[in-house]
């Protein structure tokens, strides 16, 4: 229900403050209708309102009650009777609970971080102890540099050290050696078969029925990770028995072939067995120096022209039953090493010469003894005791 501002002159008179009797009579008895208003009057109400002067001059009971209700509501809000205080209390409790949970989580993270730092410190301390021990062991370890051409016996020296000082190879290590030995068989037969067509003049097969076997061997040549099946050993065995393959092997001085080729090819029947177990000696098969010299495949004078004029020294003592050609060849090689080692004129440079072979552990012990003697001489020179 609203009151129009345009009715004020009629209700309260002109601005001068006078109200006519006619207007007073009409206003006190007849209801005001919105249709009687002038065009410019602004209507805020949409219904007929019975209005009397006394209604304007004093507040209505409804307004009184409304005011009382408002005052009472204000009092209730001030006293917290409307539930606002409870809501604030609930929110405050939730905030406190959230803060407590957050603080608890933070304390847990800090504790974990502290424990992690403590554990990291322990690990770091252990690592420092290990590094210190390794450094001490490194300083106490003597290192030897083995130099030599291919197939000169570098790995053989290391293997002999295992036999002499670490009680040889255990069962697990021998099991791993089986794969290496079978690889030697594969490398040997592949190399010989491949060389048959590249040598000049080439070497033909004695039995042409083995031609498909050579094709099989050439087909597996590129594979490094190879499964050594019985089919492979059958082909390798048949080819090794072929006289043409043997003839190509006899010309091995014309191409590069591992020294142990014949040793393992002669033992294919043993190597192919599922329960095959190599011995310590098989880990480094012997290379027969005497056979190579007597076969004359590689003439020493072709590489060392001075060999044609070389004579063995007077103190040279050949082994019992040794061929003079073998004695002359081995002492020539020895003297070449001595000449190179003493060519600088440095008296601190020593060279110890021995005639030995890979499988002779007694002679290898002599080599190790000489190595210890060299190391001792070096230390004596460092402290100016020699």
Q: How far apart are CA 229 and CA 305, in angstroms?
A: 48
151 labelled ligand-binding: yes
The torsion angles phi and psi of 376, rounded to 5 degrees, stand at -65, -40
Sequence-separated (6 or more) residues with CB below 8 Å from residue 27: 10, 11, 51, 53
Was 330 annotated as part of a binding site?
no
| Both tokens assigned to 164 | 């002499």
Paired strand residues for 32? 49
Measure CA 362 to chain center. Answer: 44
DSSP assignment, residue 42? Answer: P
Query: Residue 43's CB: how many other CB atoms inside 10 A?
Result: 11
> Binding site annotation covers 156?
yes
Q: Which residues contact 335 (CB under 8 A, 6 or more apart)?
A: 310, 313
How many Å apart are CA 367 and CA 357, to the nearest integer? 11
Q: For residue 231, say whether it is annotated as part of any ligand binding site.
A: no
Distances (CA, A) of 245 to 186, 238, 320: 14, 10, 35
DSSP 383: T
* Separation in Å, CA 44 to CA 34, 47, 312: 10, 10, 143
Distance CA 276, CA 182 (A): 11
Q: Please classify residue 288 by burial: count the beta carbons closer than 10 Å to its beta carbon, then call 0-12 exposed, 13-18 middle and 19+ buried.
A: middle
C-alpha–C-alpha distance, residues 136 and 125, integer Å: 17
DSSP code, position 166: S
- Would you list which residues are annotated within the binding site for GTP? 151-156
Specify binding-site residues. 151-156
Annotated binding site for Mg(2+): 155
């Amino acid at each position: 229900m609203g009151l129009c501002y345009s009715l004020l002159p009629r209700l309260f008179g002109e601005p001068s403050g006078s109200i006519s009797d006619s207007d007073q009579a009409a206003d006190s008895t007849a209801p005001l209708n919105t249709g009687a208003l002038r065009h410019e009057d602004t209507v805020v109400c949409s219904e007929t309102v019975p209005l009397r002067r006394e209604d304007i001059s004093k507040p209505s009971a409804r307004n009184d009650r409304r005011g009382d209700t408002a005052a009472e509501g204000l009092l209730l809000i001030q006293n917290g009777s409307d539930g606002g205080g409870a809501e604030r209390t609930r929110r405050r409790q939730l905030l406190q609970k959230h803060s407590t949970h957050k603080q608890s989580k933070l304390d847990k993270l800090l504790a974990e971080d502290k424990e992690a730092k403590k554990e990291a410190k322990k690990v770091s301390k252990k690592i420092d102890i290990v590094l210190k021990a390794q450094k001490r062991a490194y300083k106490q370890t003597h290192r030897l540099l083995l130099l030599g051409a291919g197939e000169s016996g570098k790995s053989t020296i290391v293997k002999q050290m295992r036999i002499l000082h670490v009680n040889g190879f255990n069962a697990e290590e021998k099991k791993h050696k089986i794969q290496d030995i079978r690889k030697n068989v594969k490398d040997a037969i592949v190399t010989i078969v491949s060389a048959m067509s590249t040598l000049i003049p080439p070497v033909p097969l004695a039995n042409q029925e083995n031609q498909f076997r050579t094709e099989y061997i050439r087909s597996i040549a590129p594979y490094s990770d190879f499964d050594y099946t019985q089919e492979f050993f059958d082909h390798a065995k048949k080819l090794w028995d072929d006289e043409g393959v043997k003839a190509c092997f006899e010309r091995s001085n014309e191409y590069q072939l591992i020294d142990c080729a014949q040793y393992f090819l002669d033992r294919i029947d043993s190597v192919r067995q599922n329960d095959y177990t190599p011995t310590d000696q098989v880990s480094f098969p012997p290379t027969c120096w005497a056979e190579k010299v007597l076969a004359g495949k590689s003439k020493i004078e072709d590489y060392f022209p001075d060999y044609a004029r070389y004579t063995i020294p007077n103190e040279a003592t050949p082994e019992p039953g040794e061929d003079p050609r073998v004695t002359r060849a081995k002492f020539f090689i020895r003297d070449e090493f001595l000449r190179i080692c003493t060519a600088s004129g440095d008296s601190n440079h020593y060279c110890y010469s021995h005639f030995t072979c890979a499988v002779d552990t007694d002679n290898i012990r002599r080599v190790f003894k000489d190595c210890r003697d060299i190391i001792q001489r070096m230390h004596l020179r460092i402290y100016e005791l020699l």
